[in-house]
Amino acid sequence: MEWETVIGLEIHAQLSTTSKIFSGAATAYGAAPNTQACAVDIALPGVLPVMNKGAVERAIKFGLAIGANINRESVFARKNYFYPDLPKGYQISQYELPIVGKGDITIQVGDQEKVVGITRAHLEEDAGKSLHEDFHGMTGVDLNRASTPLLEIVSEPDMRSSAEAVAYAKTMHSLVQYLDICDGNMQEGSFRCDANVSVRPKGTEKFGTRCEIKNLNSFRFLERAIEYEVVRQIDILESGGKIAQETRLYDSDKDETRAMRSKEEAFDYRYFPDPDLLPMKLSAEMIAEIQKTLPELPDAKRRRFIQQYGLSSYDAAVLTATKAMAAYFENVVNSVGAPNAKTAANWVMGDLAGVLKRDSLEITHSPVPADKLAGLVARIADNTISGKIAKEVFEAMWNGEGDADAIIESKGLKQITDSGAIEKIIDGIIAANPEQLAQYRSGKDKLFSFFVGQAMKATQGKANPQQLHDLLKKKLAG
Ligand code: ADP
Ligand code: MG
């Protein structure tokens, strides 16, 4: 039987406020355990939560960006469960009335576009952390993370493959960073996904029973976990078994998912409105003010790049993946002019991205800044150097040897465009290789590249490739 995968994602994005969602304690990552947990966070008797306006503003910003309805009144609820890293015995979350209602987002999978529905997004507090590795035979509890603001973004079960799920997660990851509401740091847990996965016979309507894989903190783990889970579920169903609805963990060392607990239902949590927090009412003015602060969103930027610079949809998607990369690219184009946008795009996505990755650098810390790369692209555009020689120049720029013009000058890399000079070189090569010439003229076309190679060698790669090609064709024909 052929099976179809169905995936819905819950994403937890830590909101980038300096203080916590219900207390004044700091949210900064990496402090010594329990140094950033105040009386509210550790749930001493008699304390009361106070809503952080910065968290609310960020949630609204997100809602507006996905075209969702912002609920003018929303309610905080207690989600009751027991765990050592949750000192209150409940998590303050939103249940029946979340701040952000239905919206959607467009994702790009290969060269296909797809719209994924967002069911809701709600505000909640994070829990602390249990430290299982630091103390032998014991578990430590660090409450620094307790009460850090989270936006939980729940998608519709609209994705049909791990590739779509990864594309969706990447799009969200890029969006929250564009909006400046989350730092997106996945290693530090600022952005993590739960994947709900089920399978159904292809062509049928009814969803299969899902499993939820918790806390995936890299795109690669998200992909691997889904792939493993799909195979596991199909195996069970094809051998006549049933899928148990459960929460599972992905073990990246073993590359498999494991059952964690059977799935709890909403009633297990005994949700009820938190009596310590009033229903949250938002004014139309507040929402309108936030609307004004929305930046150009990735999707709009991508469309503009296609239209304004004539880029392919793929190139535009790569270049707008982060705000910093898009800004870098536009700085290069502003200086070399839109007709050279494609060359600029190739350099940013190719050589530059390659060395940034190799040297683990962010584009904002590139040793070759945008105006310097523009200097190189300009020399390719005006035929001073060929694209091939440009790679050598770029490597030297990267190593701090100066800007493009200085390097071209000092290394003597200027392209030879004087056709008389190129002709002379060709004549010499033809004269020195009579045998190859005869073979070429008797139909061995492949030898053309032999002559190109000889000429390039003679000019240290500096002959203008197009001129060389044309002149060689002419001369070899006799
Ligand atoms: P819960 O709190 O029980 O996890 P939520 O409503 O918060 O429930 O989240 C459910 C998530 O699971 C959503 O992202 C939804 O799209 C997804 N989902 C629901 N049913 C299925 C299914 N049969 N297969 C895959 N994903 C599903
Ligand atoms: Mg869930």
State how far the alpha carbon of 230 is from the alpha carbons of 110, 198, 202, 243, in Å.
Answer: 21, 7, 14, 11
Task: For residue 80, give the H/E element and its range.
Answer: strand 76-80
Q: Which of 196, 204, 237 to mutate to test the pocket of ligand 1 (most atoms within 8 A of CB)?
A: 196
Instruction: Tell how strand 191-201 and strand 211-216 pair up.
Output: antiparallel
What are the boundaries of each domain within the chain? 3-273, 298-411, 419-477
Which of the listed CATH numbers 1.20.1560.10, 1.20.80.10, 1.10.10.410, 3.30.2000.20 matches domain 419-477?
1.10.10.410
Ligand 1 atom with the smallest distance to the CA of 264 is: 3
Q: Is there an atom of ligand 1 within 6 Å of 4 CB?
A: no
Q: What ligand has the least distance to the C-alpha of 10?
A: 1
Indicate whether residue 5 lines ligand 1 (CB < 6 A): no
Look up residue 351 and give its two tokens.
Answer: 């050589």
* 101 Cβ closer than 6 Å to some ligand 1 atom: no
Residue nearest to atom 14 of ligand 1 (CA): 8
Can you give the pLDDT of all 478 residues of the chain as single tens digits?
899 999 999 999 999 999 999 999 999 999 999 999 999 999 999 999 999 999 999 999 999 999 999 999 999 999 999 999 999 999 999 999 999 999 999 998 987 889 999 999 999 999 999 998 888 899 999 999 999 999 999 999 999 999 999 999 999 999 999 999 999 999 999 999 999 999 999 999 999 999 999 999 999 999 999 999 999 999 999 999 999 999 999 999 999 999 987 777 767 899 999 999 999 999 999 999 999 999 999 999 999 999 999 999 889 999 999 999 999 999 999 999 999 999 999 999 999 999 999 999 999 999 999 999 999 999 999 889 988 899 999 999 999 999 999 999 998 888 888 889 899 999 999 999 999 999 999 999 899 999 999 998 888 888 888 889 999 999 998 7
Length of the chain as a residue count: 478
Q: How far apart are CA 157 and CA 61, in angstroms?
A: 24
Distance CA 186, CA 164 (A): 19
Residues sharing a CB contact under 8 Å with residue 236, sequence separation 6 or more, in sequence order? 242, 243
DSSP state at residue 350: I
Q: What is the DSSP string of 251-262?
A: ETTTTEEEEEEE
If phi > 0 it is left, if psi is from -120 to 50 it is alpha, else beta; for residue 165 that is alpha
Q: How close is the Cα of 119 to the center of ligand 1, in Å? A: 10
The Cα–Cα gap between 332 and 449 comes to 34
Cα(316)–Cα(347) distance, integer angstroms: 13
Q: Is 456 exposed, middle or buried (0-12, 13-18, 19+ CB in 10 A)?
A: middle
Q: Please give all residues whose CB falls under 5 A of ion ligand 2, grouped by chain where several chains appear.
A: 10
